[in-house]
Chain A
């Protein structure tokens, strides 16, 4: 049992470590952000987990289209739903952070708008699935749309913010990259936090898929 479950305990331990250490370690005293920089451990990890989940879903959608196994569709849609959850968490942690550093919950930043529109694209995926009754058709059509949605995600979060003239986010719109501003102690917490949340996301996906597989009788 331990053999197959070690990664879940590792995920829990890493997240617990990142919460405790994230609040205890010394952080560099930077203007404007001050202590709120600790939110980096939680906010950025959410996006990492979301990217991994949506990437997983892309892989399973392609696998579905090449083999038409319902199990792959189950994984693809479950990964999208888990990804949406982490995306919404990322938006919320980001909004709280924005309130305390930039003074407002929502700013007109290319990164923010891109994240919001990508979330909309994936919510549309959920609506699309809901509106097709026939199971095999639903799986196929939503797999096709999912591939489009991932392309949008890459354009919105990877390409457009970098083309933009100005951004409040590091690494975008001519700002310096995030990693250059991170000192060693922060990296000691940030990397484990990101890994921990990715593992937790995989665990959530597994639970979600198992439950739905039981309900739908798919093996």
Chain B
């Protein structure tokens, strides 16, 4: 527990010290949203809004999370390997990336709403789906980044391995957001979506925790 907390603190310190990484991602999100506004104009229909928002967030997630393992030089990895258990390493990375994704997602949502307007999404469904979605995207991509970092050409692999892994989650998120468009959603319907998203999150996290030790050792 202490180890995990310490590792998360380390991630924060690193992020604050090398500010170019987070600034780069923020600028990336801003440029993408700006390009979308230039291409589509301010007025788009609500389904397009949802699709564009999730696609932008997906690519931001790829950019933000892919560095989590790839940035670690092999000497540094060996150092972590000596001092920390693989379990606390993967859990700390997942928690940190989830937090990063939630912040990044909230910022993108704000920026996107400023530039493209905000359709009346039912918050009772959209907000939990959004939070669970950010956590799921971050955890799945953390694991993919761990796999890709062990191979030769990791930038290309990150994309081809990550795309199928996050797709079921993304489809569910888009569907849940479209449902949230229709105004108030019944509780049963809402629970169906949220439980499906939670289930995928859980499966990803459990698989990652079980399988990560095999990726970690040399």
Do A and B bind?
A: yes
> B-contacting residues of A (Cβ < 8 Å)?
65, 117-118, 120-121, 124, 127-128, 131-133, 137, 140-141, 143-145, 147-149, 151-152, 155-156, 159-160, 163
Please indicate the chain B residues that have their CB under 8 angstroms from the CB of A131 in the complex. 151-153, 157
A117 with B157: CB separation less than 8 A: no
B200 within 8 A of A: yes
How far, in angstroms, from A128 to B214 measured CA to CA in the complex?
16
Q: Are A155 and B161 in contact (CB under 8 A)?
A: no
One of B43-51, B80-88, B163-171 contacting the partner: B163-171
Of the candidates B147, B152, B157, B196, which one forms a contact with A144 in the assembled complex, judged by CB atoms under 8 Å apart?
A: B147
B152 touching A133, Cβ below 8 Å: yes
Residues of chain B in range 85-130 having any CB-CB distance to chain A below 8 Å: none
A144-B211, A144-B215 known; A118+B164 contact, CB < 8 A: yes
Give the residues in chain A near B143, CB-CB below 8 Å.
148
Contacts of A155 in B (CB 8 A): 168, 200
Taken together as a complex, chains A and B put the C-alpha atoms of A127 and B164 apart, in Å, by 14
Q: Tell me the nearest residue of chain B to A64, going by C-beta.
A: B214
Chain A: minimal CB distance from B153 (Å): 6
Number of A-B residue pairs with CB-CB distance less than 8 Å in the complex they form: 63
A81 to chain B, nearest CB (A): 17
Is B160 an interface residue, CB under 8 A from the partner? Answer: yes
What is the bound-complex CA distance between A159 and B215, given in angstroms? 28
- Pairs A–B under 8 Å by Cβ, sample size 30: A65-B211, A65-B214, A117-B164, A117-B167, A118-B164, A120-B160, A120-B164, A121-B165, A124-B160, A124-B163, A128-B151, A128-B157, A131-B151, A131-B152, A131-B157, A132-B150, A137-B150, A137-B218, A140-B215, A143-B214, A145-B147, A145-B161, A147-B207, A148-B165, A149-B164, A151-B203, A155-B168, A155-B200, A160-B171, A163-B196
* Contact (A152, B164) CB under 8 Å given A128-B157, A143-B214, A147-B207: yes
Q: State which of A124, A127, A140 has its C-beta within 8 Å of the C-beta of B214.
A: A140
Which secondary structure dominates where chain A touches chain B?
Answer: helix
CB A29 to nearest CB in B, in angstroms, measures 37
B residues in contact (CB < 8 Å) with A: 143, 147, 150-153, 157, 160-161, 163-165, 167-168, 171, 196, 200, 203, 207, 211, 214-215, 218
Q: Which of A124, A133, A163 contacts B164 (CB 8 A)?
A: A124
Q: Is there contact, CB below 8 Å, between B147 and A128?
A: yes
Taking A65-B214, A121-B164, A160-B171 as known contacts, 17 extra A-B pairs with beta carbons closer than 8 A to each other, sorted by chain A number, are A118-B164, A120-B160, A121-B165, A124-B157, A124-B164, A128-B147, A128-B161, A131-B151, A133-B152, A141-B150, A141-B151, A143-B214, A145-B161, A152-B165, A155-B200, A159-B196, A163-B196
Q: Nearest chain B CB to A28's CB is how many angstroms away?
A: 35
Task: Please measure, in the bound complex, the distance between the C-alpha atom of A139 and the C-alpha atom of B153, giving whole angstroms.
Answer: 17
* A141-B215 contact, Cβ under 8 Å, with A131-B157, A133-B152: yes
Contacts of A151 in B (CB 8 A): 203, 207
Identify the 4 closest CB pairs spanning chains A and B, nearest first.
A121-B164, A131-B151, A131-B152, A124-B160
CA distance A157 to B143 in the complex (A): 22
Tell me which of B151, B157, B196 has the highest count of chain A C-beta atoms within 10 A of its own C-beta. B151
Evaluate whether A124 and B161 lie within 8 angstroms (CB atoms) in the complex, with A144-B214, A156-B168, A160-B168 already known: yes
Q: Chain A residues with Cβ under 8 A from B168's Cβ?
A: 152, 155-156, 160
Within 8 Å CB of A128, what residues of B? 147, 151, 157, 161
Cβ-closest chain B residue relative to A144: B211
The interface residues of chain B lying within 8 Å CB-to-CB of A120 are 160, 163-164
User: Complex: how many Å from CA A17 to CA B101?
Assistant: 56
